[in-house]
């Protein structure tokens, strides 16, 4: 019996495990056996790889061929094992030597003519291979730039099986020695929306600035056409660029979702805006066997905007509770659990009633019961987890205050300075924004002036225990925007107003 092995990676959510693909040719009837808990797509790889090898003019063993995926107890899914399977088969047939295979991870899907096609999750798979100590990676040529975003590994791109044979012999493939991929993402195509386009909503623009500065969740409530969606779409432009670690983490999630990162790491905070008919799997993540990342993970380190929030399923909205607190989502399946990061900034927008015309004399046709059912779709626990609640000005009032506000660049500068103050204050902690700071750490900071305001709100049941911590976080953000080193009574009053949707009264 002759044997050979190659390396690939099994992805379970964001976590990768090194998989050894073993091939053994022995006595027996000519057939191919694939073992190691493969899913349907992987089980079909034996026929796909055999046809690809024949299409490339190479020979498939005409004996009993056993292919084992180790560890055998770990479920395997996907078509990215094709390259490793073919390499192991060619190795045990004596077509290629085993020196390169022993230190290389191989990722790629094969076509019947021997072409190598792109696969999902190149970036997290490369990170797992580097952690496991492998020095070389062989990936589809179209994904070389994405693979080279993970430093410390030699990456070879192959476009067909002939290229794979050359690389496994240690011979460079012509044209593959290209410069390392840039870790900078290309800039956005076209002009970004500007905050100065929003007219007549100065309090809303201020609430948006506070939300951006501290990373706070935001709820915008008001009639149709007053600018809720405009504000949400301009929030990403106020946020600073992602750090190196954050950019790599965000890019890995998008790679797992199927994005091909030709331009480099994702440096700008992402923006996800799912439609209100989105299912639980689309929003939270899910799938038949191994769950895919949902919108909350695609919005990791960025913005998740739920427009027409009461139109979403109440069950789907309630599923946001745990990710909003923990910054990650864990999805359980019979084959195991997958974990995805979900440190998003939530922005909800809602109308006052199904027709949206509540408060306009003679225009609203909704019954009191329909209005109540509409608003009850946003449960109390979800609303309590949202830091800032803002009631938008009516359209007539907004038109009377039509002077333009500060442009995005100006506000983004103030947000950047406030974030810098937070990072300096939190330098020796794992947190980088006020919204991430837990309650116990808040109480170690200098006590704000005017705590009686919060005591009164709690005694009148206008503020929960969680709400007290959220007001404290907002107050620190207001102080950071002001440039002060401690929270004053005015900062606390303004934070309480932002929390309760009455900023004008509190200010």
Average pLDDT for residues 292-315, to the nearest whole number? 95
H or E element in which residue 493 lies = helix 489-500
Q: Does pLDDT of 186 surpass 50?
A: no
The reported pLDDT for the residue numbered 302 is 97
Higher pLDDT, 361 or 231: 231
State residue 142 phi and psi, 5-degree precision.
-75, -10
pLDDT band at 181 (very low <50, low <70, confident <90, very high): very low
Q: Does pLDDT of 269 surpass 90?
A: yes
Q: Does pLDDT of 440 surpass 50?
A: yes
The reported pLDDT for the residue numbered 264 is 86
Residue 48 tokens, joined: 């796909």
Higher pLDDT, 433 or 200: 433
Q: Which residues pair with 350 in a beta bridge?
A: 221
Rounded distance between C-alpha atoms, residue 473 and residue 470, angstroms: 5
Nearest by Cα to 70 from 25, 119, 6: 6
> pLDDT (tens digit, 9 = 90+) per residue, 317-364?
999 999 999 999 998 877 678 899 999 999 999 998 888 877 666 678
The reported pLDDT for the residue numbered 412 is 97
Average pLDDT for residues 476-497, to the nearest whole number? 93
Residue 478, burial from CB neighbour count under 10 angstroms (0-12, 13-18, 19+): buried
Q: Considering the chain, what percentage of its residues have pLDDT values greater than 90?
A: 70
Lowest mean pLDDT among 134-148, 173-187, 483-497: 173-187
What does DSSP say about strands 328-333 and 104-106: parallel, antiparallel, or unpaired? Answer: unpaired
| 437, 443 contact by CB (below 8 A) | no
> Which domains are delineated in the chain?
2-168 (3.30.230.10), 203-214+405-507 (no CATH), 217-386 (3.40.50.300)
Q: Does pLDDT of 111 surpass 80?
A: yes
> pLDDT (tens digit, 9 = 90+) per residue, 376-430?
889 999 999 999 999 998 876 656 656 678 999 999 999 999 999 999 999 999 9
Residue 387 DSSP label: S
Average pLDDT for residues 266-293, to the nearest whole number? 90
Average pLDDT for residues 275-299, to the nearest whole number? 89
The reported pLDDT for the residue numbered 362 is 62
The reported pLDDT for the residue numbered 58 is 92
> pLDDT (tens digit, 9 = 90+) per residue, 20-55?
999 999 988 899 999 999 988 899 999 999 999 999
The reported pLDDT for the residue numbered 187 is 46
pTM of the model: 0.89
Higher pLDDT, 287 or 208: 208
**3-state DSSP assignment of residue 139:** strand
The reported pLDDT for the residue numbered 259 is 87
Lowest mean pLDDT among 7-21, 99-113, 356-370, 471-485: 356-370
The reported pLDDT for the residue numbered 116 is 96
Nearest by Cα to 214 from 471, 505, 493, 502: 471
Rounded distance between C-alpha atoms, residue 320 and residue 326, angstroms: 10
Q: Does pLDDT of 177 surpass 50?
A: no
């Amino acid at each position: 019996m002759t044997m050979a092995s190659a390396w690939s990676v099994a992805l379970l959510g964001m976590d990768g495990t090194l998989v050894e693909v073993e091939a053994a040719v022995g006595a027996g009837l000519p057939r191919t056996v694939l073992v190691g808990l493969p899913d349907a797509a992987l089980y079909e790889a034996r026929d796909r790889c055999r046809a690809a090898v024949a299409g490339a003019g190479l020979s498939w063993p005409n004996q009993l061929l056993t292919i084992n995926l180790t560890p055998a107890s770990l479920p395997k899914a996907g078509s990215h094992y094709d390259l490793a399977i073919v390499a192991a088969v060619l190795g045990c047939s004596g077509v290629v030597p085993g020196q390169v295979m022993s230190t290389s991870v191989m990722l790629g899907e094969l076509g019947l003519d021997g072409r190598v096609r792109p696969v999902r999750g190149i970036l997290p798979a490369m990170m797992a291979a580097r952690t496991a100590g492998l020095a070389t990676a062989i990936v589809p040529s179209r994904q070389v730039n994405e693979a080279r975003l993970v430093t410390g590994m030699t990456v070879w791109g192959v476009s067909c099986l002939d290229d794979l044979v050359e690389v496994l012999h240690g011979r460079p493939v012509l044209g593959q020695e290209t410069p390392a991929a840039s870790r900078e993402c290309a800039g956005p195509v076209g002009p970004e929306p500007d905050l100065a386009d929003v007219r007549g909503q100065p309090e809303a623009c201020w609430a948006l600035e506070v939300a951006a500065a501290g990373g706070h969740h935001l709820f915008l409530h008001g009639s149709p056409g007053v600018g809720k969606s405009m504000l949400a779409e301009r929030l990403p432009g106020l946020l600073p660029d992602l750090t190196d670690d954050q950019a790599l983490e965000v890019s890995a999630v998008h790679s797992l979702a199927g994005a091909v990162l030709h331009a480099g790491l994702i440096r700008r905070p992402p923006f996800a805006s799912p439609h209100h008919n989105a299912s639980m799997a689309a929003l939270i993540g899910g799938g038949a066997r191994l769950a895919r990342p949902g919108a909350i993970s695609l919005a990791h380190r960025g913005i998740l905007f739920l427009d027409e929030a009461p139109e979403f399923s109440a069950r789907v909205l309630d599923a946001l509770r745990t990710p909003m607190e923990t910054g990650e989502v864990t999805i359980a399946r019979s084959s195991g659990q997958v974990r995805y990061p979900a440190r998003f900034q939530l922005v909800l927008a809602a109308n006052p009633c199904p027709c949206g015309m509540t408060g306009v004399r003679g225009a609203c046709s909704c019954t009191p019961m329909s209005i109540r059912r509409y608003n009850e779709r946003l449960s109390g626990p979800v609303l309590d987890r949202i830091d800032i609640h803002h009631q938008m000005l009516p359209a007539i009032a907004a038109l009377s205050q039509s002077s333009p506000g500060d442009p995005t660049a100006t506000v983004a500068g103030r947000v950047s300075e406030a974030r810098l103050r937070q990072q300096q204050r939190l330098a020796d902690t794992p947190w980088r924004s006020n919204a991430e700071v837990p309650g116990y750490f808040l109480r170690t900071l200098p006590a704000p002036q005017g705590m009686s305001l919060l005591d009164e709100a709690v005694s009148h049941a206008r503020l929960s225990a969680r709400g007290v911590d959220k007001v404290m976080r907002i107050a620190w953000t207001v102080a950071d925007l002001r440039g002060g080193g401690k929270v004053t009574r005015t900062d606390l009053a303004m934070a309480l107003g932002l929390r309760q949707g009455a900023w004008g009264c509190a200010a």
